[in-house]
Structure 1
């Protein structure tokens, strides 16, 4: 492992933590300054922060991170913002999955890995405010390294102008890296966040990438950073606009049904959920994406 690689891994981990801090501060500000509209008279909520630990099979330290969860607020019904850096060796199931999906040779002989990233899911009080997901990450094995992540919007009540704004912010941050990136990552998100057994998308899309490695670490890291930087400008204005709208029982029912769709996807298809559980990461942190309430019809 070269000194340069160790520096790059440290820079990536520090960036994910910095992005986490910015998002937590912005979300707590949304809680604090919600003074008009539904639930504005309730007490603002704040994040509860818990340190997470991962241990290897022999009990040795294998990394960890911070799980930050805010519940029952004026604006956010449940939101989790996790950041972690974990390392060790991949179990046999994870080795096989990695080798099969990514075509990486030698995993069985040398199954070491290192991974760092941020992941968030926000479920909102007001059904007019869309739920949202975002993550960015760096992954390393002795055989390869890559970046991944993106963000996608999951409204239960769709507004075309909100979808347009969310996508425009993504394009604005990606276009400086090359005009091909936004349409490619948009199409990737549409494919990745599709729910086969429901024959529909789980939301209105966004951007997504995985296995991103051009061989130029600086360029790939810069792209990943801008995926992260696009998130708050894409999402926060939608929250500010929609959180003041009144809702009725039918709106809330539609929200709970849509959350059921979200839960199905995360438990059945999401690669991050599968990887986190297979590698022994804190189960509560891995499953923090699940909504507090959901409904199936």
Structure 2
């Protein structure tokens, strides 16, 4: 998910009452909720970064070491301020154990949220490089923003006025969990329906869409890189080929295609729904069906100009 969502989750956990456990609890929660995304800098490698993102820093070892490092820094920062005479008097006493526990809890919410969109996460790296994706929420969910944002604002206002500031935050967390549960049910219903509908696909991905959380873009595979899709609007159920006639090709052999092409190797390692289309000037382009339609199309593809198109019928 986006970093605003991660930050709101950390802030709400604090406003639900846990920020009173130790000084600097809110930085531990908010930064901890975003900490696994320190791998974002790898995007400078372009397509090759697909094999680097949402992997090692989102895995079990990092989810322990990153909160430990954050807690250590905050503990040091508190003492550094005290030595300079700049430590705020109203700050609670800092407990390293609680700092680590809160940062660890916040860190755990990060992969949980990242799992909920179609991009996915390598949850077990470095022990396993398998991708996991729940297809529950769109990567930027404005309804979560609104729900959690209102809860956070109300909580902060009540705290300032001396009221029960924990209740709005807890209500927002409960509402967000209920919303996620509803979306999980919608995804499951769409995937089950698609599986039982002709041409009875082997694999189904019900991809959430922006704003209209009740809609899903159905991506279905009948094997051999043959991915088909339903209408993005979700008004009609059923499959409709969305590619120009005669352009679909068999997926190239992964070993041959990625030889001396680290960008192709990274793309095929990352892609959960790869398929190939013939280029007008020869060769093929490999796309991922999850990001083929809309503005993301040009960001998730690799061109293979020397690979012939073997027509897919």
* TM-score category, normalised to shorter length: under 0.3
Q: Which has the higher helix share?
A: 2
**Given the two structures, how large is their TM-score scaled by the length of structure 1?**
0.25
**Given the two structures, how large is their TM-score scaled by the length of structure 2?**
0.24
Q: Which has the higher strand share?
A: 1
Whose RCO is larger (CA < 8 A, sep 6+)?
1
Give the greater-gyration-radius structure (CA).
2
